[in-house]
Amino acid sequence: MITTIDGMQIIRVWKKEPDSWVLMPELLDRIRTRCNESGGNGEALATRMEAEFIVCQESIAAWVVVENGRIVGHTLLTCDSFNLVPELFVAQLVAPGVPRAVVQAADDEISDWARGKGYHRLVMITRRLNLRAWRKLFGFQMFRAILYRELG
């Protein structure tokens, strides 16, 4: 299903959506770039996304916002299969300049899809400076602290 708002299309990227095949190379480039900018392994994540797409798995899911044939925003979700409560992690949400109404419509579509798959929670890991925005705009609440250390 493709939703159109204000001339922008919200598309779930998956094997059974014909438009996804054309969008996949650009999406993989975006995933690589964003992951590398965040200090992750962009190539590994993009390779996993590509493999999941080809075999039509759903441990990674992606939605894009397209305007004039180009991706202007994307959301990448991964599932946490080790938790007792089914959770989806928002691994990337990149939509600079995309109108709030479009982002909200995409969030609604993602939430409906996740509920239909039996997920009970969306978890987003974000920087402190973004906390207030995500809480205000989409109702995210503080859930747990994420700690890390470098293994350098």
Highest mean pLDDT among 32-46, 89-103, 118-132: 32-46
Instruction: Report the C-alpha gap between 110 and 58 in whole angstroms.
Output: 13
pTM here is 0.76
Instruction: Report the C-alpha gap between 50 and 56 in whole angstroms.
Output: 10
Do residues 74 and 65 lie in contact, with contact meaning Cβ atoms separated by under 8 Å?
yes
Instruction: Report the C-alpha gap between 12 and 65 in whole angstroms.
Output: 9
Nearest to 109 by CA among 82, 73, 151: 73
Nearest to 66 by CA among 104, 29, 22: 22
Arithmetic mean of pLDDT, 9-27: 90
Compute the half-sphere exposure of residue 74: CA atoms within 13 Å on the CB side of its CA: 22
Say if residue 129's pLDDT is above 60: no
**pLDDT tier for residue 120 given thresholds of 50, 70 and 90:** confident
pLDDT 10s digits, 63-72? 899 999 999 9
Q: In this structure, are strands 8-13 and 60-67 parallel, antiparallel, or unpaired?
A: antiparallel
